[in-house]
Structure 1
Amino acid sequence: MFQHQIKAAASPDWRAFVVAEEWGRFTPADHDTWNRLYCRQVKMLEGKIVSPFMDGLRRLNLQSPGIPKLKELSSRLKLLTEWQLVSVEGIVPDAEFFAMLADRVFPIGNFIRDGEQLDYLEEPDCFHDIFGHVPLLAYQPMARLMEALGHLGVDACAAGQGEAISRLYWHTVEFGLAKERGELRILGAGLASSFGEAEAALHADVPRPRFTIEDAAATAYENDHFQPLYFVSDSLEEATQLLESLTLEKLVALGVG
């Protein structure tokens, strides 16, 4: 009965946020910053991140030096999972962001951080967006999950449940951990692209509760410093299955608002 009382929301128009990539604007210093970040993260993440991430790096040829050309990278990704990448100037509002995901489109910031402050970010740059997110978008279970979160996110924002879906996204896709073959591994893009927080998430003396939909949706997050806790999924596959099966009715029933 209840499921018929909630109608799917019209998808917001996200295209107004897309800008020209203008890859030629990147300077030799920008490309050097990318190379330094890439080499540092790959070395640190070996054996510490879910396996499909490293597979994605290789399948997308992200090991090539320099900031990737978005059109070429997007073409490779589309062949693998039907996802596409677009250039944006900064953070996209939640409703439009989830609408992008629903259309299998992922936004990439058209700038890179200052090479003198490799770990400082006011907002996500192209290294976070590409290195952190795109490798797992080449993995079909994650590609399906991100689309499902997009559709759910559009409906959730329209129904006043934007905070709940944002928390779930944050505690898994951005800053989640997962077990793999009995070992604790990084899952989230925010951790994959951050040298300092990746180490903290795995080794610091912080709470690492088991991930559940109910607990993650009820837990606020921090967006300007390291997280006070990191949820741990039993596996990457379990996390995708739990979130992919989530409905708006279930989200509303959590009462997060």
Structure 2
Amino acid sequence: MSVPNTAKLKEQFDVGLQTRADFTIDQPMDRYGGVDHAVWKQLYTRQTSLLEGRVCDAFLLGVKRLNLSPENVPAFDDINTQLMPATGWRIVAVPGLVPDQVFFEHLANRRFPVTWWMRRPDQLDYLQEPDCFHDLFGHVPLLFDPVFADYMHAYGRAALAAHAANALPLLARLYWYTVEFGLIRDDASPNGVKIYGAGIVSSKDETLYSQQSDAPNRIAFDLARVMQTQYRIDTFQKTYFVIDDFAQLFDLARTDFAPLLAMLADAAPIPAGDIRAGDRVIMRGSGEGWATDGDI
């Protein structure tokens, strides 16, 4: 398996932090400066205020249980003293994006890799690869929810099997449209949905866009449909898939993926903005502002 070859990861290796075979490092607390803490404070304060009424209750409860300080980048060891007794998960510091197989092995063993470094002040609203705020604030609160925590564990094991079967893109789409950019049904909320995906909750603009914009499609979650659907890494999503509850995800993650992976192995991917005849459409998007290429 090849190592992700990003400029940021090379930068991390070049500064000499000791990286273990599983890509974990000791969180270098002494390397956080005043700018890092100020960026954390600005992002944390902004997102916690913005997400009230927009994000699912389980996420807000997780933030409360984390008891994060808005003033400083948190110490991962302090978080683990709260998280491990709750659901058996712990977070581990990494220098950045890690190889897929390494990432899935961590998930399969109830370890969530968290990038240690913070984005720059000029990157508050867009960052090409995940930083500490995205990984920690975006992902970790839901690991306090027992059902979602079990889904992540089951997903890690399923993804390892998919990797062995050369079917990783199918599982990557499932992760993207649930863990990163998932919505959950809530009839009392705008457009009938609330947010839970980490890529949304850690972004001011996508928080507003995913729930309130008329542009994207919102479609009821269907496993095979999701695994065939391309997505965007450079703009807002054209389509969001909406689950009924976290139990729906966990039930799906416990299924035998092998027959589905075999069935979809040669299926043509579905463009990110398409609506198909069998879709249960919650809201058909206007498509305003969509790019005409770039789906992956």
Q: TM-score, normalised by structure 2?
A: 0.78
Contact kept in structure 2, 1:152 and 1:248, CA below 8 Å: no
Contact kept in structure 2, 1:84 and 1:105, CA below 8 Å: yes
Where does residue 139 of structure 1 map in the other structure?
Answer: 145
Of 178, 195, 208, the match for 1:199: 208
**In 1, Cα distance between equivalents of 2:251 and 2:22:** 32
Contact kept in structure 2, 1:187 and 1:236, CA below 8 Å: no
The one-letter code sitting in structure 2 at the alignment partner of 1:197 is E
Of 217, 224, 232, the match for 1:222: 232
Where does residue 196 of structure 2 map in the other structure?
Answer: 187
**In 1, Cα distance between equivalents of 2:200 and 2:266:** 25
**In 2, Cα distance between equivalents of 1:244 and 1:177:** 20
Contact kept in structure 2, 1:95 and 1:157, CA below 8 Å: yes
Where does residue 170 of structure 1 map in the other structure?
Answer: 176
The one-letter code sitting in structure 1 at the alignment partner of 2:183 is L
Contact kept in structure 1, 2:158 and 2:257, CA below 8 Å: yes
Post-superposition offset of 1:55: 0.3
From the superposition, tell whether residues 213 and 110 of structure 1 become closer, same or farther in structure 2 (CA, over 3 Å).
Answer: same
**In 2, Cα distance between equivalents of 1:48 and 1:37:** 17
SS across alignment from 2:220: coil
Identity %: 38
Greater relative contact order, per chain length (Cα 8 Å cut-off, separation 6+): 1
Q: Which structure 2 residue ranges, 5 or more long, are not aligned? A: 1-19, 268-296
Alignment of 1:36-185 (within 5 A): 36-183=42-189, 184-185=193-194
Q: What are the Cα deviations for residues 51-97 of structure 1, in whole angstroms up to 9, with x where unaligned?
A: 11000011111245311101111221111111011111111122211
**In 2, Cα distance between equivalents of 1:93 and 1:137:** 22
Q: TM-score, normalised by structure 1?
A: 0.90
Post-superposition offset of 1:22: 0.3
Contact kept in structure 2, 1:164 and 1:256, CA below 8 Å: no
SS across alignment from 2:125: coil
Contact kept in structure 2, 1:60 and 1:73, CA below 8 Å: yes
The one-letter code sitting in structure 2 at the alignment partner of 1:154 is L
Q: Which stretch shifts more, 84-93 or 231-240?
A: 231-240
From the superposition, tell whether residues 49 and 159 of structure 1 become closer, same or farther in structure 2 (CA, over 3 Å).
Answer: same
Post-superposition offset of 1:249: 2.9
From the superposition, tell whether residues 81 and 15 of structure 1 become closer, same or farther in structure 2 (CA, over 3 Å).
Answer: farther
Aligned residue-pair number: 244
- Bigger-Rg structure (1/2): 2
CA RMSD for the aligned pairs?
Answer: 1.7
The one-letter code sitting in structure 2 at the alignment partner of 1:248 is A
**In 2, Cα distance between equivalents of 1:68 and 1:86:** 13
**In 2, Cα distance between equivalents of 1:251 and 1:192:** 30
Q: Which stretch shifts more, 82-91 or 57-66?
A: 57-66
Where does residue 209 of structure 1 map in the other structure?
Answer: 219
1:30 lines up with 2:40 in the alignment: no
Post-superposition offset of 1:253: 2.5
Contact kept in structure 2, 1:175 and 1:190, CA below 8 Å: yes
Where does residue 21 of structure 1 map in the other structure?
Answer: 27
SS across alignment from 2:91: strand
Q: Which structure 1 residue ranges, 5 or more long, are not aligned? A: 1-13
